[in-house]
Chain A
């Protein structure tokens, strides 16, 4: 493998690792703030217990997210110095806004985690709300910077020099809105379904556990509200990508020849040499409709772009299908849960639904990972779409296999420890949450 490929792999690996914690860092604080809010309104200690348990998980995840995010801010320069030299002045602003949002998040998380009993219950809850708000804002700002790479604007190049820089126009580029909505919702979807899966598992085992039933209902509400919105946002994103980055859109569908009344292709094995997609299931007119809202519209195929400007069709198409498929399964579960709730006005605890929710736990994160593969691999060979090629932005540093292997091993190690620690948190939840031990409650009251 070349140093260039190691640089790309290290960046991809670091982002793939970090995005899980970033998404949970947006979603988890909302869950704990809702739960604590319910405690303040109802006075039921179970909600207080729940927000404390969720806060513990958040503390571990946030720490790993903070350090892996730090690594990324350096890696932008360690791996892509030429890109940052070009892009820094243009998109530095959302990064600095993100810096302050992250600062606020870290401050109020510290207050939230260690402030029990030191500040008033209302201030404590407010700190939780501020963590949730600043976490979401961090995501918004950093995604606008990524969106700029897809729809670069706010500068001109004259004689090889960057001139007329307009950081505000760059931040409000044409890809920002759809990417921001899609990623923020994705964080709530993924967190909602992952947390619902954990508690659905315990409700399956201990049907009467009030603790896990309360937890499941809050997580399910978050999941079931955000997933239909996410489908709408996905449609909005697809139309925007079809317009802004037709090569990426064509790769998402492995569409080689431009077509009117184009069918949506699911699966298949893209073959760039023959420019065909054999074994795909095709839904007539659906692609034209998805791209332009008109079943007869023309969709641009890859053949209209020079061969060296094609992204990896097989990877992008497969990732797109997995993302959409995951979303559809989650939507089906949400509809099912919503229907059961509407019929009986109580927490849906149908065993098959619960089993489905457990199985669907990772789907939100699978959708996030594959969605970012679509965004990032689909933009290749460009690091700044149509302006700078990724290969031209890489560091001259050699021996990049060393940092790649180092960070890969480090992140694998952290992942194993994290899974182990979080599992134990959940198992402790069963023991004490199940019986709501008297000692536990006493401790909680003293904490107040």
Chain B
């Protein structure tokens, strides 16, 4: 009974992390395309990105806080060990989060002249690159199997796991995923302007294609960089998941090619979801490979049960509100401005 409660909460954590990747990840990706904006419509690209991000990024960001809160409530030992062993990359992620968010609002309210605007843009876009890189490195560290814990003490020091080629490849892969998501979403966001759409279509195609070698690199390095995970990828579910991921990836690219952007957005989101599902399944039941598992780091049953109830009640408030937010700002097609009766 206890075990299944832990599993349910871990599954909710993975879902929250997926939503963070799909929503906030795309916001980071938008920041990357801000830095990489070029061509005759450089300014319009940046403005379209800013308009797409502005109303939703604060809400999108909260998914990460929810993951952290669930982690320390339900798996307190895992939280303590992760924050100790991965102190350095997580601190860099935090600096990136602070700079990204602040630079984004400062740019909006400090856009007095172009030079100021560019300076904030630069800070915003560089931190949009930095944060996913170190988020990926952190997750790579968790998967590496190099972080060891004995009797509740991290024995592998503060550099184990994340200072490897494998972890770095995970970071690059995360950047690529987020850039791809952002470009794919932007093709829908710019539906009023075919030239802008074409810009983001090329960016989505390019980043989508580059995911294939990046994934191969992660996979190849995992053989030695994360042996337990690599072994997990040969489990019974792996071929099916790999097939499904490939189908969504190809669907996304084909849809982009034929200007079917609604479909492309859906397929890109499905692709990212499946990749994270694969990582979660490969890592199961470990939270920190190999010593910290769902079972040996779980909170008492009463806490887990209460947390689950809280999550259910919270979701009843959250999803209608979130749905309303996205209906107001992201309804496909041109949003009808409200006309006063």
Contact B307 A107 (CB under 8 A): no
A138-175 vs B, CB cutoff 8 Å, 1 = contact: the mask equals 00000000000000000000000011011110000000
Closest Cβ of chain A: how far from B198's Cβ, in Å? Answer: 27
Q: Is the CB of A100 within 8 A of B314?
A: yes
**Are B338 and A67 interface neighbours, CB within 8 A?**
no
Evaluate whether A60 and B69 lie within 8 angstroms (CB atoms) in the complex, with A82-B80, A410-B98 already known: no
B residues in contact with A245, CB < 8 Å: none
A103, chain B: closest CB distance, angstroms = 5
Known: A66-B61, A77-B83, A395-B87. A85 touches B76 (CB 8 A): yes
Report B330 CB to chain A, min CB distance, Å. 11
Q: Chain B CB within 10 Å — which of A96, A109, A115, A410 has the most?
A: A96
Mark interface residues in A38-66 (1 if CB within 8 Å of B CB, else 0).
Answer: 00000000000000000010011011101
- Give the complex CA separation of A389 and B22 in angstroms: 41
Residue of A nearest to B66 (CB): A99
Which residues from chain A sit less than 8 Å from chain B, CB to CB? 56, 59-60, 62-64, 66-71, 73-74, 76-78, 81-82, 84-90, 92-93, 95-100, 102-104, 106-111, 113-115, 117-121, 162-163, 165-168, 395-398, 403, 406-407, 410, 414, 417, 421, 424-425, 448
- Report A-chain residues with C-beta under 8 Å of the C-beta of B153: 396
A104 contacts B321, C-beta separation under 8 Å = yes
Chain B contact residues, CB within 8 Å of chain A: 54-56, 58-59, 61-62, 64-66, 68-70, 72-74, 76-77, 79-84, 87, 90-91, 94-95, 97-102, 104-106, 108-110, 152-154, 158, 299-300, 302-303, 306-307, 310-311, 314, 317-318, 321-322, 324-325, 328-329, 335, 337-338, 340
Residue on A nearest B316 in the bound complex, by CB:
A100
Whole-angstrom CA separation of A308 from B110 in the bound complex: 51
Least Cβ–Cβ distance between B111 and chain A, in angstroms:
11
| B340 & A448 in contact (Cβ 8 Å cutoff) | yes
Residues of B within 8 A of A118 (CB): 328-329, 335, 337-338
Query: Which of B72, B77, B152, B303 has the most CB atoms of chain A within a 10 A radius of its CB?
Result: B72
Cβ contacts under 8 Å, A93 to chain B = 73, 303, 306-307, 310
Minimum distance in angstroms from A432 CB to a CB of chain B: 15
Q: Are B91 and A103 in contact (CB under 8 A)?
A: no
Q: What residues of chain A lie closer than 8 Å to B61, measured between beta carbons?
A: 66-67, 70, 106
A99 touches B69 (CB 8 A): yes
B109/A67 in contact, CB under 8 A:
no
Which B residues are in CB contact (< 8 Å) with A89? 73-74, 76, 299-300, 303
Can you show 18 pairs from A to B with CB atoms below 8 A apart? A66-B61, A66-B101, A67-B98, A70-B94, A71-B98, A76-B72, A81-B81, A81-B83, A89-B74, A92-B307, A96-B69, A100-B314, A103-B318, A104-B318, A110-B55, A165-B299, A165-B302, A421-B106
A74:B105 contact, CB within 8 angstroms: no
Provide the bound-state CA to CA distance between A64 and B328, in Å: 24
Given contacts A78-B83, A92-B73, A414-B98, 15 further A-B contacts (CB under 8 A): A56-B109, A64-B102, A70-B64, A70-B65, A78-B90, A82-B80, A87-B76, A99-B65, A107-B325, A110-B325, A165-B302, A167-B303, A396-B154, A407-B95, A414-B102
